Structure formats: C-alpha cells, structure tokens
Amino acid sequence: DPMPPFPPGFVWGVSTSAHQIEGAADERAPSVWDLFTAEPGRIKDGSTAAVACDHYHRYREDVALLAGLGVDAYRFSVSWPRVASPGGLDFYDRLVDELCAAGVRPVPTLFHWDLPADLDWLHRDTASRFADHVATVAGRLCDRVDRWITLNEPAEHTLLGHALGVHAPGKRLLFDALPAAHHQLLAHGLAVRALRAAGARDVGIANSHGPTWPASEEPADVEAAGFYDLLLNRLFADPVLLGSYPEGLGELMPGDVQADLEAIGEPLDFYGVNYYAPTRVGAPQGTATDFGGVRVPDGLPFSLRQIEGHPLTDFGWPVVPDALTELLTGFRERYGDRLPPVVITENGCSYDGLDDQDRIAYLDGHLRALHRAITAGVDVRGYFVWSLLDNFEWAEGYARRFGLVHVDFGTLERTPKASYAWLRELLRAQR
Ligand code: GCO
C-alpha cells in the first residue's frame, strides 16, 4: 500500500548531534565526553569522536545531502564547549546560512550531552550557566532560526550518564543521580525564558519516551513496570507539561522545587518525542543483568526483560511500530490539552550495509504507526529520522550505524544508502 498522506504543513526532517558528527575536537574546549572517552574501556571499539564524520569541515557536503534528500528541516545540536571557544559560534552561523541557502530549516538543539568538561549537572549553578549559553546562541542565530530545542533526552543523560555510569560523565549514583535530572529540567525552563526573551517563537524539548510493558500480569511485575514508567517517562514529561513532579519524586529533588517548577512548566510550542522501542519490565530478580550492553546492577526496584516475538535491529532493539501509536495515544490520554503539538524529534535504527532494506521496513512501519496516531486524534506536526549520517554512537563507538548515509570512517567518504533514496521518493510523493 502507498503511504497515506500526512497533514498539510507536516515537517519532514533528519537529526544529528554535535559530538557524534562534528569532530574537530582540537578546535574547541573539551567536554565531559572527551574525558570519558579517554578513560580505557569506556568505548567498546576503543574509538574517540576526535574526528567522527568531520562534519565541522565538511558541513557543505552534508547540507548538500540534506538538500538532495528533500527534507524541510534539519535538527542538529550546538556544542556548548565549541560556543565557549574563540570562533566557535561562527561555525553555527555558517551552518545556518548554508542551510537557509539550501532551503532547509535549521532546528538547533542547545544541549545534546556534551557538557563543558568543567561543569557538572549535580551543581544547580549549571542551569543558569546554560541559560547564559542559550542567550548567547539565540542572540546570534535568532534572525534566521525560528524553531529551537532546549535539551536532548535528559532521561538518558541522567540514567546512563549519572545513575549507571555507561555514558559520560560516568557516575554510578543510582537514585542519588536525581539532582542531575532536576538541574537539567531547571536548565530547560530557564532556557525557554532566555529563548523567548531573544524573540524565539517556536520552542520545545526532545524527551525520550517509550511504552513500559509489564513482564506479566502479576502485581509485582505491574508495580515494577509502573515505577520504571514513572522514572523514564513521567519524571521528565510531568514537570514540563504539568508543572509538577509525579507523586513522591518532588521530595527527592534539591532546592526550592516549587519555584523551579514554575520555570520548568513554561508553556511550549511543541513537545519533541524521541522514540525507538518499548521496554519490558518485571519485578527485581536479585541479580545484575547485561541489557543491550548496559550493565544494570542488582538492588533496583525493577529488572529489564527481553521483548520476544519481534524482529531485532543490529543493536538488538525490538522493532515494534505499534508501540509508537500506543505511546502517543497514551500521552494524549494522560496529558490531554496540556500536551502541545507533538514532533517526533528522533526515530531510527541501527543496521549495517548500503542496501538497508531493514531500515526501510523500520521507517515505513513507524510512519504508518505515526499516521494511525494522527488518525486517532494526536496532533503530530513533524517527524525527524535519526540519523542523517552513520556516526559516533556514544559507548558503542562506530559499531552501530544509524545513518541514511553511510560514512567510511577511514576516508570519511559519504555514500547514500537505499533508505536515503526511499525517503527521498516518499517525500516527493507526500508533496
Ligand atoms: C539519543 C540520541 C542519539 C543516539 C540515538 C541512538 O538522543 O539517544 O539522541 O544521540 O545516537 O538515540 O541511540
């Protein structure tokens, strides 16, 4: 069947992030990711992002790939340590000019995990430092950029970076990581205010979400799944959309939470959702487990289980398009009119090879699932594929390839995959 038509004005795009593609690490200050990567054993293939896709020097070629694909918009991130370095902001100025000249709308994310190495989300002060960074960037780019994203996935940055220690800054604080979540959320709220003060009219966040499925109908499994949903979904959506923490979690946060929640709950123009897969969760099993390469320690009030009966990506993530419909209709039920228009700010998969029919099937299935959510009444205004290029996939190094465009990390040559041609044709048919 042909893809059903998406609503008029629907925005089609692709996403990347600075640390994963830019390289040119010696032309900016270090971030927590540079320090983390330098520690032996942290990155699976022992690689670094010092060069990555060398996008910093090859951005013209990459903008040409975007134009050739025919997307409306490009979501990239602004590296805070680069902006803090002499001439750093000039790069984003050039990139935005190049995008505008190519007819591609720039959609910057102001923080995608590459915190300047001398800062720490456990310190409250980092939130106001972020607001200053945002004011600097917006002051320079606001004349050409209308849509802005404050943070990328504070949930993963808290969980993987501060609770489990498999991402930078490598802290294993378990529940003591919660202040890092609160300070990122506060940073988001202060950033919204700074963006509006600079004249921005279209402001949102990119939060990661996925349905949480109980391992069984046993009360202990249902309770564990509910708690996981609270931590990964509601802890980050409730304060932003409702201006409150879910029950019991506000008391665990530092500072004057009530005053902070006023900033965190500033109304948004859109709500960005990054979606990859659902999670199956059961009662604790009393052992540490290895889950998709992440070591989950014993002692947590839940355990993660494999999802059976669905294909897996090369990363081992289950492919469950229906769960995207379930997620969005569930959001609409939970948040009602407090949910602004939704934009899917990331969706994609890791597969090897240039003739990536599996990626085409993944994207096709998820777009149909997204269309079903729209038909069911969820107001979705855009969809961004993760990712334009194969890139530095954090602790996995270069072993996981999410790109529509293949990158040879020896020669840095770009080669569009079958999925690139497929998406180009889909976009043509949608217009
Ligand atoms: C994320 C990420 C990306 C990852 C992608 C695949 O926001 O989780 O933005 O950086 O590369 O999700 O794991």
Domain extents in the chain? 11-430
pLDDT in tens, 195-217: 999 999 999 999 999 999 999 99
Q: Alpha-carbon distance 92 to 108, whole Å?
A: 9
pLDDT at 190: 98
Question: Which pLDDT band holds residue 175 (cuts at 50, 70, 90)?
Answer: very high
Q: What's the pLDDT at 288?
A: 84
Crossing angle of the two packed helices 235-242 and 257-264, in degrees rounded to 10: 80
Residue 291 or residue 109, greater confidence: 109
pLDDT at position 290: 79
The pLDDT value given to residue 299: 83
Task: Give the span between the Cα atoms of 256 and 183, in whole angstroms.
Answer: 11
Contact predicate 66/102, CB 8 Å: yes
Instruction: Tell me, using a 6 A CB cutoff, whether residue 390 lines ligand 1.
Output: no
Among candidate residues 98, 153, 326, 393, the one labeled active-site is 153
CB distance 54 to ligand 1 below 6 Å: no
**231-272 tens-digit pLDDT:** 999 999 999 999 999 988 999 999 889 999 999 999 999 999
Residue 298's pLDDT band, with cuts at 50, 70 and 90, is: confident
| pLDDT given at position 296 | 82
- Give me the architecture of the 11-430 domain, per CATH: Alpha-Beta Barrel (3.20)
Determine whether the shortest distance from the Cβ of 274 to ligand 1 is under 6 A. yes
What pLDDT, on a 0 to 100 scale, did the predictor assign at position 297?
A: 84
Instruction: Grade residue 333 by pLDDT with cuts at 50, 70 and 90.
Output: very high
pLDDT tens-digit series, residues 71-121: 999 999 999 999 999 999 999 999 999 999 999 999 999 999 999 999 999
267 cis-preceded (ω within 30 degrees of 0): no
> What's the rounded mean pLDDT across residues 296-304?
89
Please choose, from the candidates 315, 166, 162, the residue with its C-alpha nearest in 3D space to the C-alpha of residue 231. Answer: 162
Residue 308's Cα: distance from chain center in Å?
25
The two three-digit tokens of residue 296, written as one number: 């989950």
For the segment 48-60, what is each residue's pLDDT rounded down to a tens digit?
999 999 999 999 9
User: ipTM, 2 decimals?
Assistant: 0.89
Among 16, 17, 55, which is best to mutate for testing ligand 1, by the most ligand atoms less than 8 A from CB? 17
Check whether 292 has a pLDDT greater than 80: no
Active site residue 153: yes
For tokens 């070591």, name the residue: 295
Is there an atom of ligand 1 within 6 Å of 345 CB? no
- For ligand 1, atom 11, the nearest C-alpha belongs to 393
Centre of ligand 1 to C-alpha 276, Å, is 9
Q: Cite the beta strand spans of 306-420 per DSSP E.
A: 342-346, 380-386, 405-407, 414-416
Is 346 assigned a catalytic role? yes
Whether the CB of 393 sits within 6 Å of ligand 1: yes
